[in-house]
Amino acid sequence: MTALTERANAALPEGLKARVKRGLRAYGVATAGVRSLPDFLVIGAKRGGTTSLYRNLVGHPDVLPLMPSRERIKGPHYFDTRYHLGHDWYRSHFPTVVERRGREVVSGRRVVTGESSPYYLFHPHAARRAHALVPSGKVVVLLRNPVDRAYSHWKERTHHGVETLGFEAAIDAEPERLRGERERLLVDETYYSFAHEHFSYLAQGLYLEPLLAWLRRYPREQVLVVASEELYADLRAVLDRVTAFLGLAPHPFARTRHWNHQPAEPIAPATRARLTARVAEPNRRLAACLDLDLPWAS
């Protein structure tokens, strides 16, 4: 979206913007039958760099963004919280087959499309739902140091006014907040748990069991696991890995940017030590299962 288009869009009254958005989505639903399904899913982890990865990845000329592109949608959250909206609603977010084929004819290269919804990794139904619709899709997973991920998650919730507790208090309150929520989700596919999505600071960093749900459905060669710390240290190198994984031609990614960084005071050393001890054994089992050298799992 050009700066001129952004300014013009910002000048529209809010009510008109909402009507335009509804109209575009209705058009997408009406044309769902001629739209692509995703070639790849970035499934998490939340606060692990998924926005930075996706928004830079769509800078590749052979990656088509979600519709409408001017909204810069990262992911529709279909397989977790919006599954009830239906297949046509989900498909309405992707480019048409004609648009995709036209791009391939012009470039002479394969073109892909995909989405990034970081709650997919943790939601107990997401892997099954995704595999039923896109079994041949590629799955990209960013895993961040669970303690840093928890703190970043808490900072984000605090920034948006969702969380009122301090970090240590929120961590201590987490078991009670989450009590029975996963079980309710498993029993009732229509149930939505605010706490399960938003107050699961440490739980979302216990990656092994959620990731195994995906690996039981998608073969290992369809799943790329990357440490978030690698993305933060060398974004272009990770983009190169993901590009190759998706079967795309190399691209220089001359302009890259990290998104959603929220500066804050560091975690208190005693708190970091306590939480690091709590996740040490799960981290060790995760690294052994994946046979990966995760920088924070040794």
Tens digits of residue pLDDT in 213-246:
999 999 999 999 999 999 999 999 999 999 999 9
CATH code of residue 175: 3.40.50.300
- 142 occurs within a structural domain: yes
Residue 253 is assigned to a structural domain of this protein = yes
Using a cut of 0.85, tell me whether the model's pTM lies above it: yes
Task: Report yes or no on 81 lying in a domain.
Answer: yes
Q: What is the pLDDT of residues 122-170, one digit of tens each?
A: 999 999 999 999 999 999 999 999 999 999 999 999 999 999 999 999 9
Residue 226 belongs to some domain of the structure: yes
Domain extent for 40: 31-290
Closest CA to 170 of 275, 47, 296, 283: 275
Q: Is residue 139 part of a domain?
A: yes
Q: Is residue 6 part of a domain?
A: no
Q: How many domains would you assign to the chain?
A: 1
Residue 296 lies in a domain: no
- C-beta contacts of 78-85 below 8 A and 24+ residues apart: 78/117, 78/129, 79/117, 79/120, 79/123, 79/125, 79/126, 79/129, 79/130, 80/117, 80/119, 80/120, 80/123, 80/125, 80/126, 80/197, 81/119, 81/123, 81/192, 81/197, 83/125, 83/129, 83/189, 84/190
The reported pLDDT for the residue numbered 20 is: 81
pLDDT in tens, 64-115: 999 987 778 899 999 999 999 999 999 999 999 999 999 999 999 999 999 9
User: Rounded to 5 degrees, what are φ and ψ at 123?
Assistant: -70, 130
Residue 47 falls inside a structural domain: yes
